[in-house]
Amino acid sequence: MEGLLDFVLRDILTRAGGIDRCVSEFIRVNNTLLPARTFERIVPELLNGGRTFAGVPVRPQLLGSDPQCLAENAAVLAGLGPFGVDLNFGCPAKVVNRHGGGAALLEDPELLNRIMAAVRRAVPAPMPVSAKMRLGLHDDLRAEECALALQEGGAEELVVHARTKADAYRPPAYWERIADIRAVVKIPVIANGEIWTVQDAQRCRALSGCSALMLGRGMVTDPGLALAIAAQGPGACGAADASDAPHIAWNALLPLVADFWLLARTRLDRKKQAGRLKQWLNFLRHRYPQAEQAYLELRAVSDVQQIDAWMAAQQQPRAALTARA
């Protein structure tokens, strides 16, 4: 999720718990051999043994359309010791698809196979190579063919976002089509798309047959979602708490928001810092009334010192409660 789930937000969300592994935002590969410092800039967890500071493994993701170029870059990346290499065949962005990348590749299963095979050969055998795909570009008629092409190319795991590029992010997600893909491949399949609640997770598992799930915007909106899903167990498909309340109380989340701001202030370009905080608050406000208020208060603020002061003021009530206790 380019521009959203970067290393700063990965660090914070993995502190909340329930996440087994992260996949980085995609790294564009366009007819050039990227230096190690580029991979380390986008995935600085590579400098921490390939893990977030909470200890969760991160698998960097490459995006491109040239098999040889992707293979050469994958070899450089593999030398940095990641927990595997992932390939993006699902991005629906027009600028990516226009250059033959992301979901546009789902029109050419033979090319998918050649890309996967080239990367698999370039990466040491013990290192996993996985892929993420959508159901197709304009329709889902070739979904199974694409999945088989990736498997035959050497993919050891497949994440399926249960919509086409044409569907974009509009609900619903067609989780039952993931079950069709699972029926024809022999590698593990992970379900993705439109999982916002524990109930969504249970329905997705029931319809897709997958026990493993990938969370995106749902986790950004409700940072306790992964932990709540994990508490249900991998085979849980029954009734759960129907409450719409977020799974981490605002008072418990607020320190993570403060840590997010501290990381943004110290690790991101100054011009991006305020925008990144407001971007996350914009997601959080769908579940937290307090985040709605915070977003409204900060929406027009770009001065980082003003945000520092606002953040410090949010911590004062907590400090007072701690002192009284």
Give catalytic residues, as residue numbers. 91
Sign of CA dihedral 83, 85, 90, 93: positive
Strands 157-161 and 129-134: parallel
Amino acid occupying residue 65: S
Whether the CB-CB separation of 31 and 65 falls below 8 Å is answered with no
Residues 6+ apart with CB under 8 A from 323: none
Distance CA 297, CA 101 (A): 39
Phi, psi of 143 (to 5 degrees): -60, -50
Read off the amino acid at residue 105: L
Q: Are 107 and 73 in contact (CB under 8 A)?
A: no
Structure tokens at 25: 């935002």
Could you tell me whether strands 189-192 and 22-28 are parallel, antiparallel, or unpaired per DSSP bridges?
unpaired
